[in-house]
Amino acid sequence: MTQATANSLLQQVAAGESQAVQGVIDTYGALVWSIARKYFGRSAEAEDAVQDAFIAVWKAADRYDPEVAAESTYIAMIARRRMIDQLRKQGRRPSTQALENSPEPEVESSDRLADEEQVQTVLKVINELDPPQPEVIKHSLMDGLTHPEIAEKLGLPLGTVKTHIRRGLIRVRKALGISPQTLGASS
């Protein structure tokens, strides 16, 4: 047993050591809070998300393998997935706003046609990419899957998935005439 394994808080949690639970909170609380603030801002939802994330961490503590990932990486991955799940659930909730109070759409028909043409152009460019780029990009953009989820689903290395998405989106941007400078040079 290595020193990292012997000191693993998650393995102590999995073994039922109650003081290890507080150790996880003390050690990784700031990390989980920073992830929650990224997704929810400073709100009650962020507090709920942090609680849900730590519950998920405790339930998954027995699956932690220090040979695969650092404890902080494992906890961050679980927290991020829980928060994405919460956002997806919120997105599926029906609106409770009455129809008579609903705002009128502000998009004019010519704008809508331009948007539809742009969407068709994007889909055409994506479909013309070399396999498996179209499938990878569609899982990301249309299905909302994370890069690790796509890698697992398609049986591809995570770096390959990221490369396919990046290169494919560069080609889409070029087809739409969008330069990296327009996007703040973030690509």
Asked, for residue 33, whether it belongs to a domain, the answer is yes
For the domain that residue 131 is a member of, what is the CATH number? Answer: 1.10.10.10
HSE (side-chain half, CA atoms, 13 Å) at 74: 21
Residue 69 confidence (pLDDT) above 90? no
CA–CA separation, 174 vs 68, rounded Å? Answer: 38
Stated pTM of the model: 0.46
Cβ pair 9, 24 in contact under 8 A? yes
- Judgement on whether residues 60 and 139 belong to the same structural domain of the protein: no
Q: Decide which of 92, 127, 152 is a domain's last residue.
A: 92
Give the domain range for residue 22: 3-92
pLDDT at 182 over 60: no
Residues 8 and 80 in one domain: yes
Interval 6-49: pLDDT, tens: 568 888 988 888 888 888 888 988 888 988 888 887 778 888 88
Residues 45 and 88 in one domain: yes
List Cα–Cα distances, 11 to 50, 124, 169, in angstroms: 20, 49, 41
pLDDT digits (tens, 9 = 90+) for 83-106: 888 888 877 544 444 445 545 444
